[in-house]
Structure 1
């Protein structure tokens, strides 16, 4: 999800005044004391820092992490939960990508946020923490022919990953989560909302008034059911964001066998020798990201493995630059095909996000504060002083998930992983949150966003230059199928029914703008005009069975047709999880660490 342009501007204007970026670990290649490590990890995001932590638990194992971005230390927009929308796009902490024109979205382009700093997108996202349904994981086990990816095995990693923290404001949250499902001993802090939005009680009341929207006491997916409306669980604690940097890296950063180098832009992987039929990729070439030039370049070598954890955009870009990909993508750039892997960069999946805005009565939405730099600045100052107020909280408190009704669904082959897996998400924000339309100069608003979580559209990531500093072509291919646009229209109809419940009778006054349309055709046009992304790209280096001819990686995440090369990030998921995918990639990386240790 990304914020409205007007909110982003307000947040940046207020927050940057307090910000300062301090160097963490190494900042320049000249500071490296070695060029050879057991493992070289490319990317210090969710997955990369999990691996850095777990692999260096063995004091005899040396690890180098290369991160193109900057430090996250003391960057207030990153640290303060409510300021999450100001971290991306068009900032020093974002890759600042833009999509290609999207036919399904009236040929619009839009920013494609990806975190470019320590912690990756876990330092730039909206912090919603879930695991998906067990059906999501069981489907991955079936597709990969590896039972180790089934939920019966994967759920064990929650214990070492999650550290559930109860809010410190004294509120009673016993009805907002199921205590027995969670872990309290892991690395990443996860918590519930610490600041009450004026709409929270109305959302919960609606679950009691409309049977279509049941209350779900725990929306994490741990108990195999995300359907219904519940309280958002977020990676935050004590009024601050929790990321892979503040958790996994922080607890390992003093280990002498771990080296993290920021400002290091990996330009390609270099093959070593030519074993029969298999290319070994254990050399990594990189440049100083601050120069935006491939020269001078530096090289490091992994004696055991290079692990790509650069994400669903960065990983296929690096593979293609290295000659691993489809000849149709590499030949126009005169890049020799060292490993013919036609699915590299293909199969891109993402969650389309649609803001639906209502006019509301009174002044209890946050819009009047967010319009006023003085009030917003005072709220940030309060947060700086004692970590309280709405800045200490996520931007949303309540989320929900739903399936299409059977009459609509019978028109299609169900793309969900199973009968308890949702088709769309509902997100509540008690202020204007539209990335396309600027916040009006007056009025109060409620935004009920909907997101398609089981898309059937497929896009691609394709390099357009041999220069790694030139962004690849990013084509999510949003709303390209009848199922996808039908589901988005049905999601809008669902939230309009939600908003018509008695709980909203004295608050919502009318639908805003194109949301006021009543026909399917009008709501389709509303969706095509306003949809962008929750920025959950996956599946561009998809996993397939060991003996399968398709796919990019094997079930153990090693790259097919290579040796010494593995991928551990969201690009390996064959299907985008039906939830916010931060949690899934964390536990994927936890299992990957076990697989890597077992192979060493």
Structure 2
């Protein structure tokens, strides 16, 4: 392998043959201020993540014809599915002040504490930096484990699942049916709950502020992430050059069922916090973050979950049959182009929990597919 650094990929080098076929011949790059063509020996593998893989496809002439033409890009493959199907796990929660004297990660606001932790790890691989800061579990909508709660859930699904404007694409019909079967099954999880010994600020705008240790108290945080979102967003280019970032419209909680499910899961947090032995670590009448948080009613919980952040974006170059609205086939080959695969953001449906292991699995499978095709 020859790895090139300090190199910006501008777009794919695609050739339109007299037969009408489109072939990936390499990539155009800028290196040390000079534009170059790097030719592919056999094929091009695009692995630029959820936001930039589709950007390079669109800049190269693969995408929605109307969008590409509006930016002066020659249309080689008209595929309006490129950049659609952005999925994520909306993440929200609340934090509770812990009893005096209980150590949490918030203590690293003290330079001596973080220096001591770093020293312990570097010298003997001991201390708080040897483990993750949270534990997670998949959970159902707890109230729906009872017959009245289950009846209410079915009513919500019947009323909202196929609301006006949903589903938006043929593949979503299959997705909605699959998610409905999950939500109706009390043995299936509808959310992932993580408990972390630190503070989060879901009322802030930037990740820097969300994860800042700006409150002087120590906290225990409960994060709730929607496992099976029905909402989906888009990512598309805004100009004809790679230097301008694509526009991301996540459309979090745009589907009403997502709000209903996430709100009901968040409502269970105070019950969990008030149950021993966990309750012994929470300070009586202590502070709660975000300040003013109240999920005592379903209406208040619905408003609370709208304060959320993103977690695991994926799906903008989804894999499925072309007629269902996707970008790559089951061997990760881009529809309409020979010699081009995408090995990033190909999930047609987001996995339930942390997606990193699934990303690794796709990469391993891609390697196997390529070896099979050239063996």
Shorter-chain TM-score: what band?
Answer: 0.7 to 0.9
Structure 1 residue 388, shift from structure 2 partner: 1.4
CA contact (8 A) 2:93 2:266 kept: no
Q: 5+ residue gaps in structure 1?
A: 1-257
Structure 2 partner of 1:527: 305
2:136 to 393, 399, 418: 399
Cα–Cα, structure 1 residues 322 and 487, in superposed 2: closer, same or farther, change >3 Å? same
Work out the CA distance in 1 between the residues paired with 2:214 and 2:53.
39
| Aligned residue in 2 for 1:582 | 356
Once the two structures are superposed, what CA deviation does each residue of 1:245-297 show, in whole Å capped at 9, x if it has no partner?
Answer: xxxxxxxxxxxxx1122222211001134152320012211124xx7xxx521
Instruction: Write the deviation string for residues 162-191 of structure 1: whole angstroms up to 9, x where unpaired.
Output: xxxxxxxxxxxxxxxxxxxxxxxxxxxxxx
Q: 1:312 touches 1:539 (CA, 8 Å); kept in 2?
A: yes
- The aligned counterpart of 2:147 is none
Name the structure 1 match of 2:79. 341
Partner of 1:136: none
Q: 2:232 aligns with which of 445, 458, 466?
A: 458
Paired with 1:549 and 1:384, the residues of 2 have a C-alpha distance of 51
2:277 aligned counterpart, secondary structure: helix
**What secondary structure, in the 3-state scheme, does the structure 1 residue paired with 2:335 have?**
coil
Could you tell me which residue of structure 1 aligns to residue 13 of structure 2? Answer: 270
- Give the secondary structure class of the aligned counterpart of 1:261: coil
Deviations 1:538-563 (A, max 9, x none): 11111122x63631111111000010
Matched, 1:297 2:35: yes
* Structure 1 partner of 2:262: 488
Counterpart Cα distance in 1 of 2:356 and 2:268: 26
Aligned to 2:167: none
Change (3 A) 1:363 1:408: farther
| 2:174 match | none
Provide the TM-score with structure 2 as the length reference: 0.83
**Alignment pair present for 1:312 and 2:50:** yes
| Residue 335 of structure 2, aligned match among 560, 570, 587 | 560
In 2, the alpha carbon distance for the partners of 1:472 and 1:506 equals: 48
Paired with 2:130 and 2:5, the residues of 1 have a C-alpha distance of 28
For 2:7 and 2:152, the matched residues in 1 are separated by 49
- Match 1:498 to one of 248, 257, 272: 272
CA distance in 2, matches of 1:532, 1:352: 6
* Counterparts of 1:326 and 1:273, CA distance in 2: 18
1:505 aligned counterpart, secondary structure: helix
Please give the residue correspondences for 1:220-231 in structure 2 after superposition, counting only pairs within 5 Å: none
Q: Which secondary structure state, in structure 1, belongs to the residue aligned with residue 136 of structure 2?
A: strand
Deviations 1:46-105 (A, max 9, x none): xxxxxxxxxxxxxxxxxxxxxxxxxxxxxxxxxxxxxxxxxxxxxxxxxxxxxxxxxxxx
Aligned match for 2:197, one of 415, 430, 433? 430
Measure, in 1, the Cα distance between the counterparts of 2:324 and 2:254: 27
| Alpha-carbon distance between aligned partners in 1 of 2:365 and 2:300, rounded to the nearest angstrom | 46
Pair 1:386-2:164 in alignment: no
Match of 1:518 in 2: 296
TM-score by length of 1: 0.53
SS of alignment partner, residue 113 of structure 2: helix
CA contact (8 A) 2:107 2:218 kept: no
> Contact between 2:262 and 2:305, CA under 8 Å: does it hold in 1?
yes
Contact 1:348-1:476 within 8 A present in 2 as well? yes
Give the secondary structure class of the aligned counterpart of 2:367. Answer: helix
Equivalent residues of 1:349, 1:537 under 8 A apart: yes
Measured in 2, the distance between the counterparts of 1:562 and 1:368 equals 51
Following the alignment from structure 2 to structure 1, what is the Cα–Cα distance between the partners of residues 43 and 3?
Answer: 16
Name the structure 2 match of 1:107: none
| Corresponding residue to 2:219 among 435, 445, 448 | 445
**Deviation, structure 1 residue 372:** 0.8
Structure 2 residue 119 is the aligned partner of structure 1 residue 365: no
Q: Distance in 1 between matches of 2:18 and 2:139?
A: 51
Give the whole-Å Cα distance in 2 for the aligned partners of 1:338 and 1:565.
Answer: 13
**Does the C-alpha gap of structure 1 residues 353 and 365 become closer, same or farther in structure 2, counting only changes over 3 Å?**
farther
**Structure 2: gaps of 5 or more residues:** 145-149, 162-176, 205-209
**Pairs within 5 Å for 1:146-161:** none
Q: Report how many residues are paired.
A: 333
- Would you say the 8 A contact 1:514–1:523 is kept in 2? no
User: For the residues of structure 1 that align with 2:298 and 2:107, how far apart are their CA atoms?
Assistant: 35
Q: Is 2:280 aligned against 1:542?
A: no
Cα deviation for residue 337 of structure 1 reads 0.9
Which residue is equivalent to 2:23? 280
Separation of aligned partners in 2, 1:260 and 1:377: 35
Contact 2:82 2:316 in 1 (8 A): yes
Shift of 1:415: 5.1
Matched, 1:479 2:253: yes
Q: 2 CA distance for matches of 1:556 and 1:399? A: 33
